[in-house]
Amino acid sequence: MLIKSSIFVVSSTDIRKCPKPNRPEYAFLGRSNVGKSSLINMLTGIRNLARTSSVPGKTQLINHYLINDEWYLVDLPGLGYARVPRGVKQAWQKMITRYLLSRTNLMNIFFLVDARLEPQAIDIEFINWMGSQYLPFTLVFTKTDKISRTLLSEHMKCFNEKLNETWETLPRRIVTSAVERTGREEILLEIERANIVFYSPEEA
């Protein structure tokens, strides 16, 4: 897919303020610092993501970008920011889960996982929750340029073992690096395919 235009549309505090669900949409989500801004920038050229959203104490927002006048890319607040009070964290989480459960045009969630780390409890928990809610998602391993191939396959294996405890078939996954620009075509292809399903389901 060729990215011809990426336009910031709106930051919403609440699902009711999001744009009309008249275009397919794709959410990007993961722990703070997982590499979400870098990945979105690598995919679309969007540079000035709502940066303040990762600053503690600032309002957490659902950011909509319109790509090619055809689909929405949604930048969600980072999960589990460590330095905020528990109550605030729970409120974000609630906003995110409410958003994920109620957007009728949500075609896929790209759930980002830092490839350098062993499986993190918060990631596994969230993945299992998405599964229990039948939400469509793809795992996106980030920062893969920072580790050796051996370590990467070791971490993927660990991840599989963890997921095998609860999953019969393993979720789709894409290996990426914002620095080396790997995984870009794969993600955009998934989006392109799902766009076809949204616009002309009989052809898909």
Nearer to ligand GDP, 54 or 105 (CB): 54
Please give the residue ranges that form the binding site for ligand GDP (CB under 6 A). 32-38, 54, 78, 142-143, 145-146, 177-179
What's the closest the beta carbon of residue 148 comes to ligand GDP, in angstroms? 13
Instruction: CB nearer to ligand GDP: give 108 or 177.
Output: 177
| Nearest C-alpha neighbor of 81 from the set 143, 31, 141 | 31
Burial (0-12, 13-18, 19+ Cβ within 10 Å), 195: buried
Closest approach of ligand GDP to the CB of residue 33, in Å: 4
Which CB sits closer to ligand GDP, 95 or 178? 178
What span, in angstroms and rounded, lies between the C-alpha atoms of 7 and 44?
10
Least separation, in Å, of the C-beta of 159 and ligand GDP? Answer: 17
Amino acid at 192: E
Based on CB atoms, which residue is closest to ligand GDP, 28 or 195?
28
Least distance CB 95 / ligand GDP (angstroms): 17
- The answer to whether 126 and 78 are in contact (CB under 8 A) is no
